[in-house]
Amino acid sequence: MAYANYRYEGQNFIGEVHGDHLIPLAGLTDVGPETSASVLVSAARLTEARVPLSEITLRAASPRAGKILCVGRNYKDHADEANTATFPVLFPKYTSTLIGPADDIILPPESTQADFEGELAVIIGKTGRRITEQDAMDHILGYCVSNDVTMRDYQNKSHQWLQGKIWDNTTPLGPSIVTPAETDISKAGISTTLNGEVVQKSDLSHLIFSIPTLIATLSEFTTLKPGDVILTGTPAGVGYRRDPQLFLKDGDTITVTVEGVGSITNTVRAEAT
């Protein structure tokens, strides 16, 4: 099963994905704190109002996320070989960063080092605090794809990463939320292509901190609620570690794909000033 947030004829809906159509869920407009997995499962399906994917606009997978919790340096091929971390690198994002899976990524004029970070995202579906690793999967609504676009020149202004990570309209999230019952992501491939060239390629077996470990760790100090987003980290290949360095520019097209979950493709546009 997969759910998608979409806009159709000026209104917002949550739909269940059925091939090339969406079936709206009665009374629900977007994934957020009130839309637990149980709420989505029990909602009436308005089959008579099914709509083709070709006629709708997909929105961010969790547009009203209460928390967006991100993990840095979480792939064995991206972290330092000498890295012996026992605790994940963590930082937040805000919902103002989120865009849909086909929306434009907006480049701010202040930065000249916008970088790509293809990632698997986890959407929480059940409230929990101090969740054990054994119970962690019960708290997942599903998976989607993201691109944690980062302004490296701002990220590196201090030891904290926040200022490089929270620019408006820079973080696509989608295309839909695929439930764990639908896909096994334990060894799923993840890749990023920039203007048709593969720039990142790995698989989720290379995560340093597993998804259950991340959920258990995060829920030690904050209550996870439905709609919360966890970005699980990016593999090797990011632009600032290349020689020569490679940064996003106006007109670029970038695609992130996670096998069994989906793809997002966005055009990069300079912010109008």
Question: pLDDT tens digits for 132-189?
Answer: 999 999 999 999 999 999 999 999 999 999 999 999 999 999 999 999 999 999 999 9
Q: Is residue 168 part of a domain?
A: yes
Whole-angstrom Cα distance, residue 12 to residue 35? 14
Q: Tell whether 129 and 11 lie within a shared domain.
A: no
What does the mean pLDDT of the chain come to? 96
In a domain, 207, yes or no: yes
Average pLDDT over residues 52-72: 98
In a domain? residue 9:
yes
Regarding whether 175 and 257 lie in a shared domain, the answer is: yes
Specify whether 122 is located in the same domain as 85.
yes
Structural domain boundaries, residue 47: 2-58
The answer as to whether 145 is a domain residue is yes
Tokens at 151, concatenated: 């302004």
Q: What is the pLDDT of residue 78?
A: 57
Domain membership of residue 241 (yes or no) is yes
- Across the chain, which distance is largest between two alpha carbons, in Å? 57
CA distances from 45 to 22, 27, 51, 76, 106 (A): 10, 10, 12, 42, 35
- 42 and 131 housed in the same domain: no
Residue 203's CATH number: 3.90.850.10
DSSP conformation class of 219: H
Q: Are residues 208 and 164 in the same domain?
A: yes
Q: Are 115 and 152 members of one domain?
A: yes
| Residue at which a domain ends, from 10, 32, 58 | 58
Residues 54 and 73 in one domain: no
pLDDT at residue 26 above 80?
yes
95 shares a domain with 73:
yes
For 185, the token pair is 């992501």
Residue 98 clears pLDDT 80, i.e. is over it: yes
46 and 77 in a single domain? The answer is: no
Mean pLDDT of 106-113: 98
User: What's the rounded Cα separation, in Å, for the pair 191 and 254?
Assistant: 11
Query: Of the residues 10, 25, 58, which one is the last residue of a structural domain?
Result: 58
Asked, for residue 63, whether it belongs to a domain, the answer is no
Number of domains in the chain: 2
Same domain? For 110 and 48 the reply is: no
Q: Is residue 97 part of a domain?
A: yes
At residue 231, the 3 state secondary structure works out as strand
Same domain? For 30 and 138 the reply is no
Using the predicted structure, report yes or no on whether residue 81 has a pLDDT greater than 80: no
**Pair (116, 205) in one structural domain:** yes
Question: What is residue 37's DSSP assignment?
Answer: H
Residue 151 lies in a domain: yes
Indicate the pLDDT class of residue 77, thresholds 50, 70 and 90: confident
